[in-house]
Amino acid sequence: MTASKKPQAHYLKDYQAPVFSVEHIDLTFDLAPLKTQVSSLLTLKRLTAENDDLVLDGIDLTLLSVTVDGHAYTDFREADEQLIISNLPSQCRLGIVNEISPQTNTSLEGLYLSGGAYCTQCEAQGFRKITYYLDRPDVLASFDVTIIADTQFTHLLSNGNKLDEGKLDNGRHFAKWQDPFKKPSYLFALVAGDFDVLEDTFVTHSGRSIDLALFVDKGNLPKTPHAMTSLKKSMQWDEERFNLEYDLDIYMIVAVDFFNMGAMENKGLNIFNSKCVLANQETATDKDYHTIESIVGHEYFHNWTGNRVTCRDWFQLSLKEGLTVFRDQEFSSDLGSRALNRIDAVKVMRTHQFSEDAGPMAHPIRPEQVIEMNNFYTVTVYDKGAEVIRMMHTLLGEEKFQQGMTLYFERHDGQAVTCDDFVAAMSDASNIDLKQFKRWYSQAGTPRLVVKQDYNEELGVFTLNIEQLAPLNQPNNTELHIPFAIELLDPQGESITLGFQGKPVSHVLNVTSKQQCFSFDGLTAKPVAVLLEDFSAPCIVEKYNTETELLHIMQFARSDFSRWDAQQQLFISAVKEAISNPADNTLSVPIITALQNLLGKRDGDLALTAELLKLPSFDTLAAEFDVIPVDTIISITEQFERQIAEHLCNEFLDCYASLIDDGTVSASAVATRALKSICLHYLAKITDPAIANLLNNAAASSNMTNVLAALSAVVKADNPLSVELLEQFDSHWRHDVLVMDKWFALQAMQCGDDAIDKIKNLYEHPCFDFSNPNRVRALVGSFSHFNTAQFHRKDGLGYQLLGDLLIKLNAINPQNASRMLTPFMSWRRYDEQRSSAMKAQLQRLALLDDLSDDLFEKVDKALQ
């Protein structure tokens, strides 16, 4: 790439208010696959005194005409991705007509055809691929939309309320929509297609009846009830927990097959990736059910946190995403298991987010510099953003946090605001000083905490000395305000009431300086400290507890999360010890015994038991090392798993046999299947006809969770059954691409050295399609993220496979290419041979003539 072509970065510090406001926009779409005509009429009002030009954004548009107040206008010029209009009066109606080609738009951004239906994706900057506009979130307009299309597209949808519809000549018809709420262009949506519809209603707590409609491809109606139920639960939960009621009279969700992300919160007309909507017991796993509920919730919750109050600029993305992820996490936790949800969220943080934060794409939750905005829909902005909201919730408590939310909406409803505005509302409503806390918004990297303990036996005083260290890659960071939650356990496992010199001490310690001591008195024996209870802050606590202490915590901590966390620590230490001392690679007796006890008592939360039986993932273990010892992590984990399977084979068999799955999606049935799945995972490692029988039976189940448990167990164990079971699955499910994604993912996990060739052959499979992000992620995403041994082959063929794919995707769908690139971002963390092979792939990309901005930004950062 030549220097002149180098894409430009945009900076938060350069923010300038818009020169014009758009009071209203009238949009007309005359839909046709290769030539869709878009006519827009903008009611403009100048906001600045000077006679500044109006600079509109536009990409890949063919301009047909410009008018001002109904007259042809010529005082404009087309520049690179801009239309610059000069000498406009202070108020006017600007008419623009342009053409676009939805059929050839494979970027899945703007207006495109997805499996025979027209649909849009405008966040962050896709609207400029539809028409020239002030495509920025702080320009809020009311929208009137007219859609004209062939009558075969039976449903013509846009935001808000339908005002009119009717027949036209030449087999065409139209619909007119009006959205009474002003919105930025990124929330615009249009859909035209032939769908089956599931309809329902929801009555709000003020008694308004809302029409709900779920649009899916013909024939998919039987897979819609779960999403509809999830929507109604979301609406009810937001009223109960946040006192927020829906505002329009209609709420629509459309499921499409080609979609870059999970879903999009367009006002009144959410567009979803079909995999985040469609489910029934035969085709979807329990995890799919959970994901659907949480994403339906997420998009619904955006109606207030995102739509009614939106972002001033895209650097503020976490304003809506961090907050909305926090809200969807709370929704899932209130409806299901809080501990399991917390475990899932923390896994995402400790693996993906920590590694992003330690790598070349590290950015604060409010980034300061962006080339391609689509690259910043990250685990940092979303998940760390949610952790930052959660910390405020911990500091304020539920009541004051809700008062903060109320104040936020009182102040900012209908506005486009900043993260500072949000924190100000929280702080003003609670009278809690969040000045230092705000550094979380501007500092990248994961803070490290070194904790030392001291027990004075004579005085009965226990002291924790907490030192805060800047992240390794961000040495200039200043001290953060960290809510550090703890529990102290006595030798009997009882929780100790915290106090010092007669005063109670909160279990949430306010760590604010570089070094701080916290003392607790009145003790009769040295306590065991549970640190960073519930992961109260997104930090790394450097190794602290001994094995004995961890076993104590596993048994007695009040937080289920912290018990699981202690268990993970135990495993991690065992793996690390085995790596440093390869002669001794057997799991210790206390660990095996702890697992045996877990399998023995089947009274508690079975889903939690299932989690406790899992070894830490490769990514979790990798995070412990500066240079990732790929081969040893794989071989030791493998050996440990076999040891567990062999030692506890009978226990797994007994446990499996005792678990009765009633086939429903009740919490207890889901938990039962989770535990059965982990039993199969271990049992598949043992060659035995009775076990083969169990696996075959599970694979023949009519419940997808059971089927997939069996298949993934045999594939991961390289069990000889896998060939036949995979073949059966293919012939059974070939008609259902979403189910086939599970099969592609299983194929990608195969252990043999021919894994790469198998994947290349699967590119030819009738269900595979490079232009569909779901397919690509299922096959190659699963390979690069989870088939560690084959992806990280020493001969570099795994990297080459991904490199080849990225070159192909760069031309088809840069956004998807950029997401798929992620495994290469941490190339520096591998041994010499591997890192240079990964680097070579990045260099290959850097040389591409048509390298997209999306890939450029990441490749450039990675190679710096």
Give the catalytic positions in this structure: 299
Residue 265 within binding range of ligand ARG, rule CB under 6 A: yes
Complex with ligand ARG: residue 352 or 507, whichever CB lies closer: 352
Residue 124 within binding range of ligand ARG, rule CB under 6 A: yes
Return the one option of Zn ion, ligand ARG, none that residue 263 interacts with (CB less than 5 to 8 A, by type): ligand ARG
Q: What is the C-alpha separation between 277 and 270, in angstroms, rounded?
A: 11
* Encoded amino acid at 473, one letter: N
Q: Cβ of residue 123: shortest distance to ligand ARG, in angstroms?
A: 4
Return the one option of Zn ion, ligand ARG, none that residue 422 interacts with (CB less than 5 to 8 A, by type): none
Complex with ligand ARG: residue 747 or 818, whichever CB lies closer: 818
Q: Which of 264, 451, 755, 802: binder of ligand ARG (CB under 6 A)?
A: 264
Complex with ligand ARG: residue 123 or 565, whichever CB lies closer: 123
Complex with ligand ARG: residue 299 or 357, whichever CB lies closer: 299
Q: Which of 57, 123, 288, 534: binder of ligand ARG (CB under 6 A)?
A: 123
Interface with ligand ARG in residues 651-690 (CB under 6 A): none
Q: What is the C-alpha separation between 211 and 488, in angstroms, rounded?
A: 51
Query: Please, which residues bridge with residue 518 across strands?
Result: 464
Query: Please, which residues bridge with residue 416 across strands?
Result: 310
Return the one option of Zn ion, ligand ARG, none that residue 261 interacts with (CB less than 5 to 8 A, by type): ligand ARG
Query: Please, which residues bridge with residue 99 across strands?
Result: 37, 62
List of long-range contacts for 34-39, beta carbons under 8 Å, 24+ apart: 34/101, 34/102, 34/103, 34/104, 35/99, 35/101, 36/99, 36/100, 36/101, 36/102, 36/111, 37/64, 37/97, 37/98, 37/99, 38/97, 38/98, 38/99, 38/100, 38/130, 38/131, 39/95, 39/96, 39/97
Phi, psi of 228 (to 5 degrees): -65, -45
Complex with Zn ion: residue 366 or 685, whichever CB lies closer: 366
Angle between helices 560-580 and 547-556 (to 10 degrees): 150
Return the one option of Zn ion, ligand ARG, none that residue 124 interacts with (CB less than 5 to 8 A, by type): ligand ARG
Tokens found for residue 237: 């939960």
Return the one option of Zn ion, ligand ARG, none that residue 148 interacts with (CB less than 5 to 8 A, by type): none
Q: Cβ of residue 264: shortest distance to Zn ion, in angstroms?
A: 8
Complex with Zn ion: residue 321 or 854, whichever CB lies closer: 321
Q: Cβ of residue 262: shortest distance to Zn ion, in angstroms?
A: 8
Q: Cβ of residue 15: shortest distance to ligand ARG, in angstroms?
A: 20
The piece of 260-268, 385-393, 518-526, 649-657 that touches ligand ARG (CB under 6 A) is 260-268
The piece of 258-266, 281-289, 384-392, 492-500 that touches ligand ARG (CB under 6 A) is 258-266
Return the one option of ligand ARG, Zn ion, none that residue 374 interacts with (CB less than 5 to 8 A, by type): ligand ARG
Q: Cβ of residue 314: shortest distance to Zn ion, in angstroms?
A: 13
Q: Of the candidates 616, 619, 613, which has an alpha carbon nearest to the alpha carbon of residue 787?
A: 619
Q: Cβ of residue 374: shortest distance to ligand ARG, in angstroms?
A: 4
DSSP string, 714-741: HHHTT-THHHHHHHHHHHHHTT-HHHHH
Tokens found for residue 164: 């009119």
Q: Cβ of residue 121: shortest distance to ligand ARG, in angstroms?
A: 7
CB environment 737-746: b (16+ within 10 A), e (fewer): bbbbbbbbbb
Q: Of the candidates 249, 246, 252, which has an alpha carbon nearest to the alpha carbon of residue 272?
A: 252
In the chain, count of helices (H) and strands (E)?
29, 33
CA dihedral 238, 239, 244, 246 (to 10 degrees): 90
The piece of 320-328, 452-460, 559-567, 828-836 that touches Zn ion (CB under 5 A) is 320-328
Do 802 and 780 touch, CB atoms closer than 8 A? Answer: yes
Q: What is the C-alpha separation between 245 and 266, in angstroms, rounded?
A: 17
The piece of 18-26, 318-326, 484-492, 608-616 that touches Zn ion (CB under 5 A) is 318-326
| Helix (H), strand (E), coil (C) string for 181-232 | EEECHHHCCEEEECEEEEEEEEECCCCCEEEEEEEEECCCHHHCHHHHHHHH
Q: Cβ of residue 483: shortest distance to Zn ion, in angstroms?
A: 24
Return the one option of ligand ARG, Zn ion, none that residue 618 interacts with (CB less than 5 to 8 A, by type): none
Q: Cβ of residue 298: shortest distance to Zn ion, in angstroms?
A: 6
Q: Of the candidates 579, 670, 641, which has an alpha carbon nearest to the alpha carbon of residue 285?
A: 670
Q: Cβ of residue 570: shortest distance to Zn ion, in angstroms?
A: 36
Complex with Zn ion: residue 324 or 747, whichever CB lies closer: 324
Return the one option of Zn ion, ligand ARG, none that residue 264 interacts with (CB less than 5 to 8 A, by type): ligand ARG
Q: Which of 27, 56, 252, 261: binder of ligand ARG (CB under 6 A)?
A: 261
Residue 300 within binding range of ligand ARG, rule CB under 6 A: no
Q: Cβ of residue 299: shortest distance to ligand ARG, in angstroms?
A: 6
Complex with Zn ion: residue 123 or 533, whichever CB lies closer: 123
Q: Cβ of residue 291: shortest distance to ligand ARG, in angstroms?
A: 13
Count of residues touching ligand ARG (by CB under 6 A): 11
Return the one option of ligand ARG, Zn ion, none that residue 813 interacts with (CB less than 5 to 8 A, by type): none
Complex with Zn ion: residue 135 or 321, whichever CB lies closer: 321
Return the one option of ligand ARG, Zn ion, none that residue 330 interacts with (CB less than 5 to 8 A, by type): none
Expressed in angstroms, the distance from the first to the final Cα of the chain is: 15
> Measured at CB, which residue is nearest to ligand ARG?
377
Complex with ligand ARG: residue 323 or 557, whichever CB lies closer: 323
Tokens found for residue 718: 């390289």
Complex with ligand ARG: residue 25 or 261, whichever CB lies closer: 261
Return the one option of ligand ARG, Zn ion, none that residue 123 interacts with (CB less than 5 to 8 A, by type): ligand ARG
| Helix (H), strand (E), coil (C) string for 423-445 | HHHHHHHHCCCCCCHHHHHCCCC
The piece of 49-57, 231-239, 263-271, 773-781 that touches ligand ARG (CB under 6 A) is 263-271
Contacts with 44 (C-beta within 8 Å, 6 or more apart), sequence order: 20, 21, 22, 23, 54, 88, 91, 92, 93, 94
Q: What is the C-alpha separation between 427 and 435, in angstroms, rounded?
A: 9
Tokens found for residue 442: 């501007």
* Encoded amino acid at 44, one letter: L
Interface with ligand ARG in residues 361-400 (CB under 6 A): 374, 377
Q: Of the candidates 621, 581, 604, 671, which has an alpha carbon nearest to the alpha carbon of residue 788?
A: 621
Q: Cβ of residue 81: shortest distance to ligand ARG, in angstroms?
A: 17
The piece of 256-264, 307-315, 415-423, 477-485 that touches ligand ARG (CB under 6 A) is 256-264
DSSP string, 295-352: HHHHHHHTTTBTTTBEESSGGGHHHHHHHHHHHHHHHHHHHS-HHHHHHHHHHHIIII
Q: What is the C-alpha separation between 481 and 484, in angstroms, rounded?
A: 9
**Residue 323-352 contact track with Zn ion, rule CB under 5 A, x = bound:** -x----------------------------
Do 175 and 57 touch, CB atoms closer than 8 A? Answer: no
Complex with Zn ion: residue 422 or 656, whichever CB lies closer: 422
Q: What is the C-alpha separation between 669 and 497, in angstroms, rounded?
A: 37
Angle at 663 between CA 660 and CA 668, to 5 degrees: 60
The piece of 140-148, 149-157, 262-270, 596-604 that touches ligand ARG (CB under 6 A) is 262-270
Complex with ligand ARG: residue 137 or 629, whichever CB lies closer: 137
SS3 419: helix
The piece of 3-11, 39-47, 257-265, 703-711 that touches ligand ARG (CB under 6 A) is 257-265
Do 861 and 845 touch, CB atoms closer than 8 A? Answer: no
Q: Which residues bind Zn ion (CB under 5 A)?
A: 321, 324
Q: Where does this chain bind ligand ARG (CB under 6 A)?
A: 123-124, 261, 263-265, 298-299, 321, 374, 377
